[in-house]
Amino acid sequence: MGGAPWGRRLTSGFHILLSVLSIALLGMMSWGFIHGNLVATSVAGVGLATIITMASSSLLAADDRRSQATERTLRVASATGFHMRGGLTPEACRAVCQLLLPETEATAIAMTDAHETLAYVGEGSYGAGEGSPNSDPTNEVVENGRIQTFSNLNENQWSRADGLLAGFFSEAVKSYPVGIIVPLTVSERTVGTIKLYYRTGGDINRTQMAIARGFAELLSSQLSVYELDRQAELTAQAEVKALQAQINPHFLFNTLNTIAAFTRIDPTRARDLLREFSVFYRRTLEGTEAPIRLADELEQTRRYLTIERARFGEDRILLTEHVESGCDEIKVPAFIVQPIVENAVRHAMREEGPLHIDVQVARDGEDVLIAIADDGVGMSEEVAERLLGEGAHAPSDSPKGTGIALRNVADRVELFYGEGSGVEVMSKVGAGTCVTLRLVGVAPPQDETSPDEWDESE
């Protein structure tokens, strides 16, 4: 890479020579036409054709080199992005160092986090082996977030590299190893470094500095994407924990009072309810980081309704389910159906008469749709729209808690299934509400088996 300017000078001189020859040959051709000299005209024509061919070949070769360089850069960026998707781990850093080393004139490359060397690839180790604590120069880069050069001859012989390196490395310091340390940053915070080692200070030129900066910017961008994804996942998990923590104390006390009442009039029913209640709360409180089967989520929903029917009466809450074959085995985040059904029970029931709740699960091309509909009191279109909009955590004129649960479900569905996934709410005052979840790209293979149906009203 250090010979690139010399190569460009040669190419420029070659083009100047071709231009001079072209002018001379054009002059010869004109002279031949004027004086009727066929030999001179023919020689000039052949010469011009040769020059055109040579110039075209030169331009095509240059374009081909640029195309190859672009493709190589894109391949490196794609490969490093693949490895950095899990953050700064020793395995990822080792793979990235192996990818980047051939793209430089360095003899070794290392990557560190804020405390220690995570990976070292290349000649020797020079006190920078994997797992070794960061050196003083590396610690200073982590602290101030600025690119620096170093020499391992004397740990005091290293200096900040603010752009110009001329004169920095004296003849006494031009010995192996020397190098460049560049910070890796996420949200203006240095999380690690990338270190390039060279045999002599003379090997570190502006090109190598630019390459080091470019690698650091590329890796920092990829680490920022990883950090955003990780924060989104942590936020979603925190929201689930918050949902678990906000268990309605009225539901708890009402359930305990219901069970207590049944102990006097129907001990067997009280025992069954207590067992269901115990399982329901255990499933609610246990960890939910891993996805579960949709069948398990629907079972938890039925368990919740069993408890609520014991309180309100068997004929007050009627559930029907229609699950297309195979869809009950798809993986879903916990608490995406039960909170919506709970909202219907808490906010949609009329003073008298039954509340019908219908759960439909079906394929829609490559997607799966889960629709939870009720025939309760409903809400206006404006309120329904605000439930999933900005500020849905505290809608002003919607039933308290409805927006929190729906926004929570929507956020986790979008995070888990990606672009195109989400929640839609349709409602009409006096007619009921339908909440539809779209899960993108998870439809199981179609088979000829008839769908599963559940109708508790029969």
Domain boundaries, the chain: 4-83, 88-227, 287-455
Instruction: Identify the pLDDT of residue 53.
Output: 57
- In the chain, what is the straight-line distance between the N-terminal and C-terminal CA atoms, in Å? 79
289 compared with 398, residue with greater pLDDT: 289
Nearest to 80 by CA among 190, 226, 183: 226
Instruction: Identify the pLDDT of residue 162.
Output: 39
Least confident of 58-62, 307-311, 442-446: 58-62
Which residues are registered as beta bridge partners of 186? 189
Distance, CA of 101 to CA of 97 (rounded, Å): 6
Instruction: Identify the pLDDT of residue 136.
Output: 87
Q: What is the CATH superfamily name and number for domain 88-227?
A: GAF domain (3.30.450.40)
Percent of the chain with pLDDT over 90: 25
pLDDT by residue (tens digit) across 33-65? 566 665 555 655 556 556 555 555 555 444 454
Instruction: Identify the pLDDT of residue 387.
Output: 79
What backbone torsions phi and psi does residue 156 show, to the nearest 5 degrees?
-85, -10
Instruction: Identify the pLDDT of residue 407.
Output: 82
Q: Give the confidence band of 332 by pLDDT, cuts at 50, 70, 90.
A: very high
Query: At a CB cut-off of 8 Å and minimum separation 6, what does 205 contact?
Result: 2, 165
Instruction: Identify the pLDDT of residue 60.
Output: 46
Model confidence at 234: pLDDT above 70: no
Model confidence at 262: pLDDT above 60: yes
Model confidence at 158: pLDDT above 90: no
Mean local confidence (pLDDT), 1-29: 53
Query: What secondary structure does DSSP assign to 342-404, as a single string?
Result: HHHHHHT--SSS-EEEEEEEEEETTEEEEEEEE-S----HHHHHHHTSTTTTS-TTS-TTHHH
- Taking each helix axis from N to C end, the angle separating 402-417 and 206-245, rounded to the nearest 10 degrees, works out to 140
Mean local confidence (pLDDT), 343-354: 92
Model confidence at 450: pLDDT above 50: no
Distance, CA of 458 to CA of 188 (rounded, Å): 62
Q: What angle do CA 314, 357, 317 make, to 5 degrees?
A: 15
Which residues are registered as beta bridge partners of 216? none
Instruction: Identify the pLDDT of residue 220.
Output: 81
Nearest to 130 by CA among 92, 81, 177: 92
Instruction: Identify the pLDDT of residue 325.
Output: 93
The tokens 């942590």 sit on which residue?
A: 234
- Taking each helix axis from N to C end, the angle separating 249-265 and 294-312, rounded to the nearest 10 degrees, works out to 60
Where are any strands of DSSP class E within 73-161?
108-113, 117-122, 148-151, 159-160
Distance, CA of 163 to CA of 180 (rounded, Å): 12
Model confidence at 138: pLDDT above 70: yes
Where are any strands of DSSP class E within 256-336?
292-293, 317-323, 331-332
Q: Which fold has domain 287-455?
A: Heat Shock Protein 90 (3.30.565)
Q: Give the confidence band of 396 by pLDDT, cuts at 50, 70, 90.
A: very low
Nearest to 112 by CA among 155, 75, 142: 142
Question: Contact 377/348 with Cβ under 8 angstroms?
Answer: yes
Pair of tokens at residue 118? 């995570």
The tokens 């609520």 sit on which residue?
A: 308
Report the range out of 163-177, 224-238, 434-448 with the highest average pLDDT. 434-448
Distance, CA of 99 to CA of 392 (rounded, Å): 46
Mean local confidence (pLDDT), 307-311: 92
Give the mean pLDDT of the chain: 75
Mean local confidence (pLDDT), 440-456: 68
Nearest to 11 by CA among 79, 65, 59, 53: 59
Distance, CA of 358 to CA of 322 (rounded, Å): 8
pLDDT by residue (tens digit) across 366-385? 999 999 999 999 998 888 88
Least confident of 50-59, 98-107, 365-374, 405-414: 50-59
Mapped onto helix, strand or coil, the DSSP state of residue 118 is strand
Mapped onto helix, strand or coil, the DSSP state of residue 244 is helix
Query: At a CB cut-off of 8 Å and minimum separation 6, what does 276 contact?
Result: 303, 306, 307
Distance, CA of 319 to CA of 331 (rounded, Å): 23
pLDDT by residue (tens digit) across 192-226? 999 999 888 778 888 888 888 888 888 888 777 77
Least confident of 118-132, 138-152, 199-213, 346-360: 118-132
HSE at residue 219, side-chain half, CA atoms within 13 A, is 32
What pTM was estimated for this model as a whole? 0.50
Mean local confidence (pLDDT), 73-94: 76
Nearest to 118 by CA among 99, 138, 90: 90
Instruction: Identify the pLDDT of residue 19.
Output: 57
